[in-house]
Amino acid sequence: MTAVSIKKIGALSLAKILGIIHGILGVIVGIYMTIMSFPIGFGIGPETTAAGTMPGIGSLLLLPLIYGVMGFAAGIITAPIYNGVAGKLGGIEIEVE
């Protein structure tokens, strides 16, 4: 195995990857919130209607978008910071085969 070091990361490249990863996490959290909203909308309390599930369904639609945008922004911010630190301390070492 050969050890290589990541010395520089492209900001747009990292932003795209983090945007997709965080978007997927947003889907997972949105599904969870949708499932958790069903008992509130359909069975607990005096005003049980299907409208009670709308916050959960809304989160299934909005959270992937919000998480994705935040992940993209984090990538744009993180890459230059990483590049500066890696220039002084060395990059992340990985082993490839």
Q: Which residues of 60-71 are buried (b: 16+ CB within 10 A; e: fewer)?
A: beebbeebbeeb
C-alpha atoms less than 13 angstroms from C-alpha of 14 in its C-beta half-sphere: 16
5: how many CB neighbours lie within 10 A of its CB? 10
Reported confidence tier of residue 25, pLDDT bands at 50, 70, 90: very high
Spatial separation of the C-alpha atoms in residues 45 and 41, rounded to whole Å: 9
- For 44-84, the pLDDT digits (tens) are 555 555 555 566 677 888 999 999 999 999 999 999 999 99
Mean pLDDT of 32-48: 66
Question: What are 4's strand-pairing partners?
Answer: 94
For 91, the domain range is: 2-96
pLDDT at 13: 95
Number of domains in the chain: 1
**Model confidence at 41: pLDDT above 90:** no
48: how many CB neighbours lie within 10 A of its CB? 13
